[in-house]
Amino acid sequence: MTTSTTTPAVQTDKLFQPFRLGRYELPHRMVMAPLTRSRARQPGNVPSPLNACYYVQRASAGLIISEATQVSLQGQGYAWTPGIHSLEQIEGWRLVTDAVHKAGGLIFLQLWHVGRISHPSLQPDNMLPVAPSAIKPAGNAFIENERGEGELVPFVTPRSLQIEEIPYVVRQYVCGSKNALEAGFDGVEIHSANGYLLDQFINSSTNHRTDSYGGSVENRARLLMEVTAAVSEVWGPDRVGVRLSPLGKFNDMGDDNPEETFGYIAEKLNAYGLAYLHIVNPTLVALEKGTEPEPSGRRMLDLIRQKYTNTLMIAGGFNHETAEQWLRQGKADLIAFGRKFIANPDLPERFRKGAALNPDDPSTYYGGGPKGYTDYPNLAQESGEEPKPSVDDRWR
């Protein structure tokens, strides 16, 4: 099941040097990126021992960022994703954070409100999803059908949020933050990327508002800034990260002047003293393929690095060699890995040893049980020194 090999790490590798992140000392600079796996226990979207097993297997990451986690019922957009708005969910997450801490790891929770990327069947009382403006996204929502199976159905036109409701949206993030603290997390990441609610406010294609939350870049960034301030008050800013995806097209997104928009936001975020800014690499495809990136992507990365003067994390398309290169060239301080962590629970050790990597299986990304989730072996299991990971489904 192994494919690519990597070169063994050498002592001078920057990737394996410790890094001070706010009040934490990371043993190295490899972060596990947030990864939705749609395996929360039902009913109630509650994290389970199976989820704890998955995260603890990956506790050797310098930092784990949890899968995106809805801050409210309204914030949910996909079947079976976990929440952080009920007592049961807090207790479920406690299993995860305890297990990760016992294994010596650190874990932040990714705070999520999907906005228009939802469907009435996932919303309380079958209401319409909310958004900055009533603009329907192209594509499909992933819902649970009457037979309890996952199904893709077309998105609907969302309802535009009234200005009086916006403080309520901020409060959802505050509740999620307080609950995350209660659940034993080490910090939180505000999900302002990939076409979800905060990104919908930021990008001009999804925000046609004419009030103080639309129009100018200051106005479109206002909700993110309010959420950042409110969440920082709960956690202390040095335990809060923000994730952005400049130039991202995922979930039918676009902006008229991305350099102005994201340059402004990156600069503005300096004032909060955050743990980090996390960028989804706009040159992901080129980096992965080893081809020349679009000049716009390169320009955007340079701009963010220049405007944001604190810790910068980048995710998207990295392998051992390119991660090391980008750190050495000063393009980032931390590198997050997504798909490689799905298939390689012990990714840091594999990089250190130059060991082969397991390929990931996209057919098991979302939903299901242990298969493609907790059954990827670590090196000791692969060589037979330890028993193979269990695919026992009882833990669900």
Residues with a known catalytic role: 196
Residues 61, 52: Cα–Cα separation, whole Å: 15
CB 333 within 8 A of CB 17: no
Q: Are strands 130-131 and 159-160 parallel, antiparallel or unpaired?
A: parallel
Residue in the shown chain whose Cβ atom is closest to ligand FMN? 338
The residue among 234 and 280 lying less far from ligand FMN, judged by its C-beta, is 280
Q: How far is the CB of 315 from ligand FMN (least distance, A)?
A: 4
Residues 6+ apart with CB under 8 A from 176: 69, 70, 71, 72, 75, 84, 85, 109, 111, 188
Helix (H) or strand (E) holding 337: strand 334-337
> Residues 79, 144: contact at Cβ < 8 Å?
yes
Question: Which tokens belong to 271?
Answer: 């004032």
> Do residues 277 and 31 make contact, with C-beta atoms less than 8 angstroms apart?
no
Q: State in angstroms the smallest separation of the CB of 59 from ligand FMN.
A: 18
- Asked if residues 303 and 296 have their Cβ atoms less than 8 Å apart, the reply is no
CB of 250 to ligand FMN, least distance (A): 9
**Closest distance between ligand FMN and the C-beta of residue 362, in Å?**
8
User: Which spans of this chain sit near ligand FMN (rule: CB under 6 A)?
Assistant: 33-36, 67-68, 110, 191, 193-194, 243, 280, 284, 315-318, 337-340, 365
Query: In the chain, what is the straight-line distance between the N-terminal and C-terminal CA atoms, in Å?
Result: 26
